[in-house]
Structures are given as C-alpha cells and as structure tokens.
C-alpha cells in the first residue's frame, strides 16, 4: 500500500501533481484553493524533481503559460476557483482547439460575479458545456473525496495526453478545505526529453533534421480546414463518450426512488440515503464521476426502473438537464438545490425527497 | 462505530489542531476519518469550528447538522451547537467565559476547567490537549500509542520535543472532567 496521510483536498492535488511527474504548475492565488500553490511552494519540487512552480501575474497569464508548456509536450497544471476560471475561458478554448493536453482544477465557490468563498457547484454548465467559445468539450472529473482529488490528478494527466485535450477537475471549496485519509500513489519520475518526444511527436520543442516543423495552433482561416479540425475534435469526443464514462451506483438494485448527485452533494446524499433506508424508504444513489462524458445510458438504465428521481446539486439546477435528456420523460425528475455557498444538510435532502418525489 | 464530533470555540484556542490530532490519531488506528473546518468569513469573524468524524466504515457526509459529541469552548458556540447534540449524546464545555449554562436534559453534560488549569501551569498551548483528554476519558476511540503517532504526524518536527507535555496534558484532562448533568 502507498503512503498514508491525512490531507486537505487542495494539498492532495498538489502532492499528486508532484508524484504524477508534473513538469509545471502555473497559478494565481484565490480562496478556497490557495493551498495548492502554498503546498507546492513549501514542498519545493523544483529542487527535487525539477518541476516548475510559478505564481503568474494573473489567471489569464497562468492559462497562457499552460498553453505554452503544453505546446512543447510538457505535463502542466493550473488551479483556480470560479472567478479565476472564468478569466481562463479563452485559454481553455485555445487549448481545446490546438489539441493540447493540460489539467485545470476548479475549486468552485459560490457565484455569480465575485460571489462568496464558500463551496458551490454552480460551474457545472461552464465546465461541461464549454465556457469558452467554439464547439469544444473537456473531459470533466468530479471527485467526491480527498482520495479522489489525489487519484483524479493522475487520471486527468493520463487522459489529457491520451486524447490531447484539456481535462478539468471540478471540485468545490469544501472538498478542497477538508482533510481525509489519503493513500498516495508512488512517485512517477518526470519524463526525460527522449520520452517526451516519443510520447508527443506533435509537440513544438525543437526540430530535428528528420522532420518538418511542428506547428501548434488553433487557427485555420480556410473554412474547409477548420471544419476538418472540428470533425476531428467531435470524433474524439464521441470516442470519450464510448470509453471514458465513470460513475458509482449505491444501493440501486432494489431502489424505488433515485437520487442523482455529483461531488460533495453525493456525499451528503449518501447520508440522506442512510437516513431514508433507516425509515424503510428504498432509495438508491447514482453518482456521475465523469460529468463529460456524462453517464447517460447508465443513469437511464437505473432511472427508468424507479418511481421518481431527485437531482441534488449546490446550484439552481444544471446537471438535471443532462439527467432529463438521458432518462427521458416517463419518470418524474425534480431538483433540489442550495446556492451561493450554502451546503444542503442530509435532513434537508431527505425532506426534499419525501416532499417533492414520494409525496408529490 | 461512527462518532460524529463538533469542536467549537474562538480562533487561537487550538480548535482546528485538536481536531486534526484526533483525526490523525484515528488514521493511525486504521479508522476512516474526516476533518471539515469552518473557513472564510465565519473564521475571520473570530469563531472557529471543525467537524471530525471517526468511523469503521466509509464516511458519507462530512457536513452534519447533528452530532454525537459537542466540545464547546465559548458562549457563542454553546448557543449555536447545544441544540445540535443528538438525544443521549455528549456535551463537554469549558465553563471559562460561559455566562449561560447548558440547559438540555436529554444529553450528558460534562464540564472541564481546562483554561483555568492551563493558566495555572503557565502553558496556554496545552489547553486544547487538556480538553481532548476529557473527551478521550469518556470516548476512548483511539489508543494512547496512536495519539502519540497522531501528535507526531500533526506537529512539525521542531515541536516534537513538546509531545510528552501534550500527552501529560491529555492525562490531566481525564482527571479534570466533571459531570454536570447525566441523562441516564
């Protein structure tokens, strides 16, 4: 078993990046995720593995540093929280358009605007539907524990390089700030230059005499060429939908009612499920782990066996749209949400289930 | 076994670090744990609290609205959390600075004069360990050797010389605990 530690979610992201063999972190401080950079600065990986840790002058600078690093095939990471992630949207669209691998962590806080520093899930649409311009998607992972914060960093880097795409880890202030037991994976050395060139033959990192220049760009002024780029991207997204869906089912086998929730909300709903089961109400929990690709078939399979579905999110109803598109209109689907940094309690969720789904 | 605990007081009383030492001791005893602090505007207002859960099973919600145990270190926290203790649950408080005593009849209430004792010993920093000792007397969730390991993991190496002092404070706390009202 790997090394056992008690860590904050934000610290786990930073430690996992070092262990995954990350080449560079670029970020700008914002609550509730500043511990990511604080931890990296305290650990000083630049002295151990050579990983660059840089506080950029702004989020806009950080995301463009990510673009530059990724363009040379380096394994790069940034983290921020909602308002900072909004500033990065142009860069995310460019990363997707230029097919560059990068990992972006959003420790979501309540919005809109400067909002609050308390946890929220109101950036679902932005992450999943594309906050930047153009027809692009990111693979989006939604960790529900500190252990997953650690494991998803490794997974995100793997998928970013496999698909040449930006991958987002969509978490929230509570998971970032809370401490849990983590089993850390073993250190993976950073790739050598030779390994990098082998893995990323497309990277713009010096032209040997044996090939032409590699060009990294998201610009193609010829519409036919740009359509080809789009078709290639779409083919990649269909491939992800086939192969990369992750989800968790809890007590769905005999469920008469279903709760669908991701991230922190799923943890709260697990407790609500326990309370409901203690009262004899047969409830199951479906937790999407990838938000894109969305586990559409899987939630439909479970959803169409039950009498009603409650979608619980710390927002005004965002993922519920994907649940409705997946499950269809034969089953009653309702939303329960709290906003602006308020976390629903397990009792509240149980009450909503009884009022809106069972009684309603 | 699942124990759901809220520890609440002023910032600077060692509320978060007491929770961390308890949680880390739980990790060392191979338990599942979660440590969920108040942060942000609440903390900046001067009060601090942390929810610690120690369990044999995978922990569901790290955020709770009722607790098996409340460890209360100031009046604001007593006002806020006395009603959140589950019936039959436990409330431990330091009477220092308390102007309104707890009133619940359906829970077990103990007091611990930890601030007073830490003051007498001239060691304000061990205040939170005295309180932790009181809790561990009633709920020995973690073995003493795992508390030592928890202290080693939680405290930076430069403070490891103080671990025996902390362990002694835990023992002192066990002696100082006084029943105020017992539901059963």
* CA gap A237, A129 in Å, rounded: 12
End-to-end CA distance of chain A: 48
CA distance B57 to chain A (A): 12
Question: Residue A178 is part of which domain span?
Answer: 3-194
pLDDT, residue A360, reads: 66
Assess whether A178 and A64 both reside in one domain. Answer: yes
Look up the CATH number of the domain holding residue B47.
Answer: 3.40.920.10
Whether residue A162 is found in the same domain as residue A282: no
Number of compact structural domains in chain A: 2
Contacts of residue B83 in chain A, CB cutoff 8 Å? none
Q: Which residues of A touch B24 (CB under 8 A)?
A: 6
Three-class secondary structure assignment of chain B: CEEEEEEEEECCCCHHHHHHHHHHHHHHCCCEEEEEECCCHHHHCCEEEEEEEEECCCCCCCCCCCEEEEEECCHHHHHHHHHHEEEEEEEEECCCCCCCCCCCCCCEEEECCHHHHHHHCCCHHHHHHHHHHHHHHHCCCCCHHHHHHHHHHHCCHHHHHHHHHHHHHHHHHHHHCEEEECCC
Would you state the pLDDT for residue B108? 98
Contacts of B41 in chain A (CB under 8 A): 116-118
Whether residue A222 lies inside any domain: the answer is no
Let me know if residue A233 belongs to a domain.
Answer: no
Instruction: Please state, in angstroms and as integers, the Cα–Cα distance from residue A213 to each residue in A53, A98, A161, A206, following that order.
Output: 29, 15, 20, 8
Residue that has been written with the tokens 């380096």 in this structure: A74
The answer to whether residue A140 is domain-embedded is yes
Q: Give the mean model confidence (pLDDT) for residues A150-175.
A: 98
Structure tokens at B182: 């017992």
Omega of the bond leading into B91 within 30 degrees of 0 (cis): no
Q: Between B35, B40, B61, which is nearest A179 by CB?
A: B35
Summarised one tens digit per residue, pLDDT across range A68-115 is 999 999 999 999 999 999 999 999 999 999 999 999 999 999 999 999
Look up tokens 């909602």; give the residue. Answer: A82
Mean pLDDT of chain A: 97
Decide if A180 and B34 are in contact by the 8 Å CB cutoff. Answer: yes
For the sheet with B108-111, list strands across it: A3-8, A179-184, B32-37, B47-55, B2-10, B67-72, B85-93, B108-111, B178-181
- The whole-number pLDDT of residue B47 equals 83
A4: which chain B residues are within 8 Å (Cβ-Cβ)?
Answer: 27
Q: Report strand pairing: A247-250 vs A166-172.
A: unpaired
B114: pLDDT strictly greater than 60: yes
**One domain for residues A124 and A9:** yes
Residue where one domain finishes, among candidates A174, A194, A214? A194
**Phi–psi pair at A33, nearest 5 degrees:** -130, 10
Residue-wise pLDDT for A230-283, tens only, equals 999 999 999 999 999 999 999 999 999 999 999 999 999 999 999 999 999 999
Token reading at A139: 């693979």
Residue A19, CA atoms < 13 Å, CB-side half-sphere? 19
Main-chain phi, psi angles of A193, to 5 degrees: -55, -40
- Segment B87-103 mean pLDDT: 96
Long-range contacts of B36-40 (CB under 8 A, 24+ apart): B36/A174, B36/A177, B36/A178, B36/A179, B36/B62, B36/B63, B37/A177, B37/A178, B39/A32, B39/A117, B39/A173, B39/A177, B40/A31, B40/A32, B40/A116, B40/A117, B40/A118, B40/A173
Write the pLDDT tens digit of every residue in B39-86.
766 555 578 999 999 999 999 999 999 999 999 999 999 999 999 999
Residue B43 has a pLDDT of 57
Interface contact A268-B60, CB threshold 8 A: yes
Report the C-alpha gap between B81 and B122 in whole angstroms: 30
- Strands lying side by side in the sheet with A332-337: A247-250, A283-288, A257-260, A308-313, A332-337
CA B10, CA B48: separation in Å to the nearest integer? 5
In a domain, A272, yes or no: yes
Q: Encode pLDDT of B3-46 as tens digits.
A: 999 999 988 889 999 999 999 999 999 999 999 998 766 555 57
Local structure of residue A131 (DSSP, 8 states) = S
Is A228 within a domain?
no
What is the CB neighbour count within 10 angstroms for residue A311? 27
Give the whole-number percent of chain B exceeding pLDDT 90: 88
| CA distances from residue A129 to A82, A148, A158, A323, A337 in whole angstroms, order as listed | 15, 23, 22, 14, 20
Strands (E), chain A: 3-8, 24-27, 52-55, 76-80, 102-108, 139-141, 166-172, 179-184, 247-250, 257-260, 283-288, 290-292, 308-313, 332-337
How far apart CA A154 and CA A188 sit, in angstroms, is 10
Residue B92 and residue B110 in contact, taking contact as beta carbons nearer than 8 Å: yes
pLDDT digits over B122-138, tens only?
888 899 999 999 999 99
Identify the three-state secondary structure at position A83: helix
Nearest CA in chain A to B24: A6
Count of structural domains, chain B: 1
Residue B46: the pLDDT is 72
Same domain, A74 and A181: yes
- Is A276 found in the same domain as A161? no
Same-domain status, A164 and A273: no
Q: Which residues of B touch A264 (CB under 8 A)?
A: 62-63
Nearest CA to B81 among B98, B99, B102, B95? Answer: B102
A58, A135: one domain: yes
Q: What is the pLDDT of residue A122?
A: 98
A22 and A138: one domain? yes
Sign of CA dihedral A30, A34, A38, A40: negative
pLDDT score, position B125: 87
Tell me, what's the pLDDT at A132?
97
Q: What CATH number has the domain bearing residue A51?
A: 3.40.50.970
Picking from A156, A174, A194, the residue at the C-terminal end of a domain is A194
Give domain status of residue A309, yes or no.
yes
Q: Give chain B's length.
A: 184
Partners of A3 in the β-ladder: A184
Residue A220 phi, psi (nearest 5): -145, 105
Q: Is residue A215 part of a domain?
A: no
Residue with tokens 């930006």, as numbered in its chain: A166
Cα-Cα-Cα-Cα dihedral sign, residues A123, A129, A135, A138: positive
Print burial letters for A200-230: b (CB count within 10 Å at least 16), e (below 16): beebeeeeeeeeeebebebeeeeeeeeeebe
Interface of B with A (CB under 8 A): 20, 23-24, 27, 32-37, 39-41, 59-65, 153
Q: Do A117 and B41 touch (CB under 8 A)?
A: yes
pLDDT of residue B38: 85
pLDDT tens digits along A21-71: 999 999 999 999 999 999 999 999 999 999 999 999 999 999 999 999 999
Please report the pLDDT score of residue B118 as a whole number.
95
- The rounded distance, in Å, linking the Cα atoms of A72 and A75 is 9
Which CATH number belongs to the domain containing residue A285 in this structure? Answer: 3.40.50.920
Specify if A165 maps to a domain.
yes
The reported pLDDT for the residue numbered B45 is 58
pLDDT at A218: 95
Cα–Cα distances in angstroms (integers) from residue B8 to residues A28, B34, B74, B84, in the given order:
32, 16, 7, 12
pLDDT digits (tens, 9 = 90+) for A199-227: 999 999 999 899 999 999 999 999 999 99
B61–A267: do the CB atoms touch at under 8 Å?
yes
For position A89, what pLDDT does the model report?
98
Instruction: Specify whether A179 is located in the same domain as A288.
Output: no
**pLDDT (tens digit per residue) in B126-180:** 999 999 999 999 999 999 999 999 999 999 999 999 999 999 999 999 999 999 9
Is A271 close to B61, i.e. CB distance below 8 A?
A: yes
Span A324-355, pLDDT tens digits: 999 999 999 999 999 999 999 999 999 999 99
**Cα gap B45→B62, rounded to integer Å:** 23
Q: Which structural domain, as residue segments, surrounds residue B41?
A: 2-181
């Amino acid at each position: 078993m790997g090394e056992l530690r008690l860590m904050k979610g934000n610290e786990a992201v930073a430690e996992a990046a070092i262990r995954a063999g990350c080449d560079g972190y670029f970020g700008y401080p914002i609550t509730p995720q500043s511990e990511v950079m604080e931890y990296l600065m305290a650990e000083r990986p630049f002295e151990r593995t050579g990983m660059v840790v840089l506080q950029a002058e702004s989020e806009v600078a950080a995301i463009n540093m990510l673009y530059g690093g990724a363009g040379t095939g380096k394994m790069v990471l940034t983290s921020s929280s909602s308002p900072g992630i909004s500033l990065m949207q142009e860069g995310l669209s460019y990363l997707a358009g230029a097919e560059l691998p990068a990992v972006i962590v959003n420790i979501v806080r309540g919005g809109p605007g400067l909002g609050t520093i308390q946890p929220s899930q109101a950036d679902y649409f932005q992450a999943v539907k594309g906050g930047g311009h153009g027809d692009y998607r990111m693979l989006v992972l939604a960790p529900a524990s500190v252990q997953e914060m650690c494991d998803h960093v490794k997974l995100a880097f793997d998928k970013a390089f496999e698909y040449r795409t930006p991958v987002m880890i969509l978490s929230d202030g509570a998971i970032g700030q809370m401490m849990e037991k983590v089993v850390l994976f073993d250190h993976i050395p950073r790739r050598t230059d030779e390994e990098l060139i082998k893995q990323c033959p497309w990277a713009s990192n010096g032209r040997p005499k044996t090939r032409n220049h590699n060009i990294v760009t998201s610009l193609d002024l010829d519409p036919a060429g740009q359509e080809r780029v789009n078709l290639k991207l779409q083919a990649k997204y269909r491939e992800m939908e086939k192969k990369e869906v992750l989800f968790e089912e809890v007590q769905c086998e005999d469920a008469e009612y279903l709760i669908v929730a991701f991230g922190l909300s799923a943890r709260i709903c697990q407790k609500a499920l326990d309370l409901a089961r203690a009262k004899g109400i047969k409830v199951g929990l479906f937790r999407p782990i990838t938000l894109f690709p969305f586990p559409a078939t899987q939630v439909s399979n479970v959803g169409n066996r039950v009498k009603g579905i409650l979608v619980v999110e710390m927002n005004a109803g965002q993922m519920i749209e994907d649940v409705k598109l997946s499950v269809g209109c034969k089953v009653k689907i309702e939303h329960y949400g709290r906003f602006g940094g308020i976390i629903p309690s397990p009792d509240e969720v149980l009450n909503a289930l009884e009022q809106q789904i069972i009684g309603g | 076994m699942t124990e759901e605990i809220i520890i609440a007081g002023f910032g600077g009383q060692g509320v978060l670090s007491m929770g961390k030492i308890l949680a880390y001791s739980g990790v060392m005893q191979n338990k599942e744990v979660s440590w969920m602090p108040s942060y942000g505007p609440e903390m900046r207002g001067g009060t601090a609290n942390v929810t610690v859960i120690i369990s044999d099973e995978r922990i569901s919600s790290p955020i709770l609205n009722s607790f098996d145990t409340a460890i209360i270190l100031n009046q604001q926290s007593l006002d806020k959390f006395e009603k959140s203790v589950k019936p039959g649950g436990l409330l431990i408080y330091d009477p220092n600075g308390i102007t309104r005593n707890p009133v619940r009849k359906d829970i077990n209430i103990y007091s611990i004069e930890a601030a007073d004792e830490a003051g007498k010993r001239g060691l304000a920093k061990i205040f939170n360990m005295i309180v932790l000792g009181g809790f561990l007397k009633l709920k020995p969730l973690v073995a003493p050797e795992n508390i030592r390991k928890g202290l080693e993991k939680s405290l930076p190496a430069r403070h490891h010389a103080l671990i025996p002092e902390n362990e002694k404070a835990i023992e002192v706390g066990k002696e100082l605990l006084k029943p105020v009202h017992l539901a059963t």
